[in-house]
Structure 1
Amino acid sequence: MSELISESSSTSLEKEIRALRLELNEFRNEVTTGKTHSLLNEFKNQCAGDFLNASLGNNLNSIRNESNECTMWDHCEPVFTEYFDSLSGFAIKGELSDDNVSSIRNKFGQMKERAAEESKKCLNCFQHAETCFETQIEMLQEMGFCKPDNGDIQVQDLPEDQISILIGDALSSAARVQILKALHDDAKSFTALSKLTKLRGGNLLFHLDKLQSKGLIRQREERGEYQITLQGLNLMNSLIDVTKAMSFRV
């Protein structure tokens, strides 16, 4: 009898040990998977930061060339460096969200306005820096480093005033939609846009200024080519879904 009890206890103990081993293995897998995801995210964020840091020198050299050996360069260089470093800092921490990028844009926009009051030459440098910044943002977004903040937005959360001002005003003209379509894939000169839209002089300039004021397009430099901004690109891509949903004829 005692031997039977002993065998039964041994079998029960073996089952408990096997169960514990299974639980331990599952726990290890979960921990390993969690660590793997964490390490991958850290690596991804570091790659984004390294990409931005590596391009900093090229951006500064490009802006310096635009300055035409301005005597204020030594004063402005730290300003531009901080501008790009702030983007790199968010990237390394995995915080490249729309809100954080917008905060950098707004801060830089304020500096740009003050620079415009000081000198036209200063404005050229700031516009060139802004172009470099937007190019980096577009590349980061294409590589999947930027995180949208509005994934859970609901209909009731839509900002009425901002939408009506941005879309209602900017897209109330077929000519402006045509300009955005023309700039969707490539930057174009004023002359090229004039040929495409059949608009001349002040008429075309009116529509370009309207789109620029809404942040949908920008001019690379004074009298340079026009190009669509990230906001303009997102808007046009969103309109594809709207067109499909509304069953418009295309």
Structure 2
Amino acid sequence: METANENTEVYYREELHSIKEEVASLRNEFSRFLQRANQQHIEGMLDEMRKSFMKPMVDYLCEDASERMHSQMTRDCKMRDLCETAFRDVLQETAGLVGRGKIDAETLKLYRDRMDGLKKEAKTPNCSRCFSEASSLFEKQVKLMRSLQIYEERDEGIKKPDISEIEPDRLVSEVCEPVANRQRLLMLKALSGESKTFSELSKLTGLRGGNLLFHLQKLLETAMVLQRSERGDYIITRKGYSTLQGLSRIYSEIEQD
């Protein structure tokens, strides 16, 4: 009789162990399903965000290029109007690339070659100032494309960066410092859902005037947010949103420990 009871206990222990393994397997499958679903949701949100702020961003880049070239080019030059038009046309075309999604290296090379072609037509020593300003604006646009992750230079001979290649000073100044402040983090979090005006951000953070402007400037300088020129409201960039995603993952792992 005792032997039968022992056999029964062994049977149920084995069954219980089998059930636990099945539950663990189902839990893992469900967890993977949620991760895939969350990733699809995030990608969908990013696509919607990109569509919503790409046009105002392109408008801002075009306006910025026109204003900067008009104000910074050499004034006492008979070629000024012709050159200003040529530079503005190139910069507005490259700004328009931002709204088209992914940009390949060959396309940007064509515009670099076009800029070089204009430079070869330089006639006076003063031309260097104008070309310098145009080149600066072009590189500013390229930097924004990288920040939005719609353009990436590829070189098969260069290995991908790893942790050992992290530059602490740059990481602190461009990522850690901008979000190491409660008000700035509140602003980024709010902007991840929709654009906000200066007044709305003031109400959200409790900051006024110059104090709010100081914190906004930190986010603007590090390309975490952009300001739409025609309305003056603020929108988050891909860099800002990616930073929030990274912080969310870190927070989630800390909570689990």
TM range (shorter): 0.3 to 0.5
The TM-score with structure 1 as length reference comes to 0.47
TM-score normalised by structure 2 residue count? 0.46
